Structure 1
Amino acid sequence: MPERISARTKLLDAASRLFYANGISATGIDAVIAEAGVAKMSLYNNFASKTGLVSAYLEARHEEWLGLYRAHLAHADGSAGGVLAVVEAYIDHAEAGYEHGFRGCGLLNAAAELPAGDPGRQVVAGHKAQVEGIIRSHLEELAAPDEAAALAEQISFLLEGAISRAGLEGGSELLYRAKSLIDAMVRAL
């Protein structure tokens, strides 16, 4: 007997596809409900509003990225490999085979649409801070804390620029180039 998928999961999956492909503002709740194939009350039984659905979507994207990072970290070689595991998770996102093509970081795309002060922007900022913190924690095993923090910030900036440009170009090539640069930066420690 096939496993039953909850309405919440169907709604999040549909929102993820539509928000990424079309944007949050351009995607109404009726489109999400239709894509999910659930009753309208299912949305309100699981999320208080579209804002709640957007927050859940952002949290799910964050958790998805953490899962990709952890999978690469499990096979990483030392602290330098840990830094590269972060980059590999970004590459995985760029190569995920999106239905309408790769458009860059879904979290940054969402943040660009949300008004200042929106709770969703805090989720995105928290994700980006956590990524930089992960990089810093790996680098602290290779360098003094001040040097590790400075290099983590530089690597974070490089990755964010690469993922943004990769989204414009629709592919992962720039992320591979960023990976080579980051590998050289870490090896220089």
Structure 2
Amino acid sequence: MSTTAKEKILHAASILFYNKGIEATGINSITNKANVAKMSLYNNFSTKNDLIASYITIRHQEWLDLYAIQENRAKTSLDKILAIFDAYQDHAEFNYENGFRGCGLLNAAAEFSANSPHRVAVKKHKEEVESIIKRHLSHLTQDQNKINELALMVSFLLEGSISRAGLEGSSHKVTAAKVLTKKILEKEIINEK
């Protein structure tokens, strides 16, 4: 199956945005890496901002797809929460050209102003992850305050662990956060029943 110019551009942009940063990556670098004419880029994306928006959408879907695989393997609601860490670990252990640099979406968000559309899109992704946690917690407890509190705590452990994993170039902190999360949730919810 042949790859379209749009797919080549998105693939090249994804690699360069992750490795070098969005602002530091110029259109010429993208078209050179994609091996397409500059006009091909503008035929598929009217601006660099459109390309960035597509990159953020792709990174988000990529994570959702990784999570779906892990979630399907999980048997219990607790396992489905812990599977979120496994999906983050899958991302961390991907064979990046220049090594793992942390969450690609958080890296992207750091390059934009607080209320920019790109940063808002990343925020929505993180909110969706927290929403997934809440959904699974609701099968473990009916206490909405506890669900909200624990979902926030799990999301903090998750994001902190992926940030540390990016700094260290290793997914060990994600594994450690998963173990901590399991202990906390067992103590807070499962052992209460």
Same fold, judged at TM 0.5 (above) = yes
Shift of 1:141: 0.5
What residue in structure 1 maps to residue 171 of structure 2?
A: 172
CA–CA distance in structure 2, aligned partners of residues 75 and 162 of structure 1: 22
Shift of 1:114: 1.2
Gaps of 5+ in 2: none
Percent of aligned pairs with the same amino acid: 50
Work out the number of aligned pairs and report it: 187
What residue in structure 1 maps to residue 19 of structure 2?
A: 21
What residue in structure 2 maps to residue 158 of structure 1?
A: 157
Shift of 1:115: 2.0
Gaps of 5+ in 1: none
Shift of 1:117: 2.2
What residue in structure 2 maps to residue 91 of structure 1?
A: 89
Out of 110, 128, 131, the position equivalent to 2:129 is 131
Describe the SS at the equivalent of 2:110.
helix
CA–CA distance in structure 2, aligned partners of residues 89 and 77 of structure 1: 16
TM-score of the superposition, structure 1-length normalised?
0.97
Which of structure 1's runs of 4+ aligned residues deviate more than 6 A? none
Shift of 1:102: 0.4
CA–CA distance in structure 1, aligned partners of residues 47 and 19 of structure 2: 21
Give the alignment's Cα RMSD to 1 decimal: 0.8
Letter in 2 for 1:85: A
Letter in 2 for 1:59: T
What residue in structure 1 maps to residue 71 of structure 2?
A: 73
TM-score of the superposition, structure 2-length normalised?
0.95
What residue in structure 2 maps to residue 5 of structure 1?
A: 3
Shift of 1:116: 2.5
